[in-house]
Amino acid sequence: MDSLKDKVAIVTGAGQGIGFAIGERFAREGAHVVVAEIQADKAQATTQYFSSLGTEALAIPMDVGEPAQIDMMVKTVVQKFGRIDILVNNAGVSEKADFFEMTPERWDWMQRINQRGVFFCLQTVARQMVAQIPEAVKTAGFADHSYGKIINMSSIAGRHGRADALHYSVSKAAVITITQGAAMALAPYNINVNAICPSVIRTPMWEEIDRIQSETLQIPQGEWYKRRVKRIPLQRGGTVEQIAATVMFLCSEAGDYITGQTYNVDGGSEMN
């Protein structure tokens, strides 16, 4: 996609799984990739790999739950590249928790990353995107193309409550409403905000979910994953590459007239 060449794209949680696949696809499309990753070693290794693909990549070890670190990330990116074109809010955490065993600490830990982290990354980057827009466009309140793309990673768990992971489903439902509200707020600046709800995608996070569920049910590891996939209309799990492809579409010129939407990439698990 030529429209992504030389764009500056921040991907949070880019050190593994879906975030890594998204960053790799951006790099192969010729975009400059900012690897915002809490694990410093993964941030550095991932950046070296993306750079080997012929693009310029920047590692920023950071915690999206800390607003001060978000501010510093944005300042560092602007100092390096001069602007920000794309944000993919991908960093997130997941766990199972019994309804009656939920604690304030576990609840707050989840929301700190999945909800608050998403919003303040979005807000801080959007502020920079708005600052980059020509005054004539700001005054007019519309333009014939986009001046920024923001993608928030939700989950099909955000489509309805989960008794065994209520705090997670709440955090991902919040991502959907944050996306809608931000799309309305940023529409006058021609900044597009959309979300993606993946289903069963083979990632380190899903490997951990399978391990926990298999232990709980006392079945061989991998068996729960197979059972879960059987409940999907297409009878198969998705891939990180398919999520990355959806992100590329939304961030390209083809996605300029799409905002405030949440795409289920889930094999038909949620049909709404």
Which residues are annotated as catalytic?
168
Q: What is the 3-state secondary structure (H, E, C) of 184-208?
A: HHHHHHCCEEEEEEECCECCHHHHH
Q: And the tokens for 17?
A: 């799984």
Spell out the residues 6+ positions from residue 246 whose beta carbon is closer than 8 angstroms to its own: 196, 263, 265
User: Is the separation of the CB atoms in 168 and 157 below 8 Å?
Assistant: yes
Q: How far is CA 162 from CA 13, 92, 230, in A?
A: 24, 17, 19
Which amino acid belongs to residue 135? E
Residue 263 is inside which H or E element, if any?
Answer: strand 262-265
- Give Cα 201 distance to the centre of its chain: 14
Instruction: Please give the backbone phi and psi of residue 215, each rounded to the nearest 5 degrees, phi first.
Output: -65, -40
